[in-house]
Amino acid sequence: MINLIAAITYYPKSDQFIIAVNGQLPHESPEDMARFTKLTSGGVVIMGRKTYETLGQALPDRTNIILSRDPMFHLSNARVARNLEEALKIAPKYSSDIWIIGGGQVYKEALEKDIPDRLYISEMRGHWEDDSEILSQGEGVLLFTAVEVRHPVQDQVVTFPRVNWEYYKALYIDQCDDHTLKILSKTSLNVL
Ligand SMILES: NC(=O)c1ccc[n+]([C@@H]2O[C@H](COP(=O)([O-])OP(=O)(O)OC[C@H]3O[C@@H](n4cnc5c(N)ncnc54)[C@H](OP(=O)(O)O)[C@@H]3O)[C@@H](O)[C@H]2O)c1
């Protein structure tokens, strides 16, 4: 099973879901981080080189595969793959539980190629410094304990590929009872 997991934050000023601001996550959510760890532990995580660098380390208890086109890029603590297909070929040697964990470039490619079997999307809303009022929980919107106090610099914002998100959202959405996670799966599409 190939999963894609992402936490997205709604940024109302540009009506976008963003996944990063200035190289950092645009939200803080220990709950979401704990969920991420629980879900991905024991499996294989595939990530872009920039995400690896923001983490500053390989994620423990998981096989890490880092994507880079740079032939000089090597790591002693993780596998390196030169493209997504190579990563997906390596991954099953370690676990059948495969997680594409970002960042923006990797999400975009995976979604455009329709690679994931299942999407785990945490949708966050928070207070933005430049917004006059705290966003209320909208209809059908899942609220995390996200608090945002920085103003994103537009050209440094990494956005989730919204067109594909809407596509998946329309087709595959399913909401968990605990109101913390949306699971979207092709399997559930078959029974809709
Ligand atoms: N909100 C979330 O859930 C979430 C999750 C993960 C990351 N993030 C954030 O996302 C940001 C990083 O995203 P990003 O889009 O800038 O970068 P990224 O996707 O993490 O990494 C991009 C790099 O990965 C390599 N790469 C990407 N696709 C490849 C392919 N098909 N084949 C080979 N190499 C490939 C390239 O490395 P080389 O340049 O070395 O060739 C590329 O420059 C960070 O700020 C991070 O905090 C957010």
Tell me what pLDDT residue 158 has.
Answer: 66
pTM: predicted TM-score of the whole model, two decimal places: 0.80
CA distances from 177 to 36, 141, 169, 174 (A): 18, 13, 17, 10
User: Which pLDDT tens digit goes with each residue over 163-174?
Assistant: 344 444 433 334
Residues contacting 60, CB < 8 A, separation 6+: none
Nearest atom within ligand 1 for CA of residue 49: 24
84 in contact with ligand 1, CB cutoff 6 A: yes
Residue 94 has a pLDDT of: 98
Spacing, Cα 55 to ligand 1 middle (Å): 11
**Which atom of ligand 1 lies at the shortest distance from residue 22's CA?**
45
> How far, in Å, CA of 114 to CA of 112, rounded?
5
**pLDDT value at residue 161:** 54
Q: Which two tokens stand for residue 65?
A: 């595969």
Cβ contacts of 11 within 8 Å, gap of 6 or more: 17, 18, 26, 128, 152, 157
Q: What is the mean pLDDT of the chain?
A: 72
Which DSSP string corresponds to 131-165? Answer: SSSPPPPPTT----S----PPPPGGGEEEP-HHHH
Q: Which residue has the higher pLDDT, 7 or 143?
A: 7
CA dihedral (187, 118, 172, 9) in degrees, to 10, reads 160
Closest of 124, 111, 115 to residue 164, by C-alpha: 111
Q: What is the pLDDT of residues 60-109, one digit of tens each?
A: 999 999 999 999 999 999 999 999 999 999 999 999 999 999 988 898 88
pLDDT of residue 107: 86
Q: What percent of the chain has pLDDT over 70?
A: 58
Pair 186, 174: CB distance under 8 Å = no
Ligand 1 within 6 A of 82 CB?
Answer: yes
For the ranges 84-93, 108-117, 175-184, the maximum mean pLDDT occurs at 84-93
49, 59, 65, 107: residue to mutate for ligand 1 pocket, most atoms within 8 A of CB: 49
Architecture of domain 2-185: 3-Layer(aba) Sandwich (3.40)
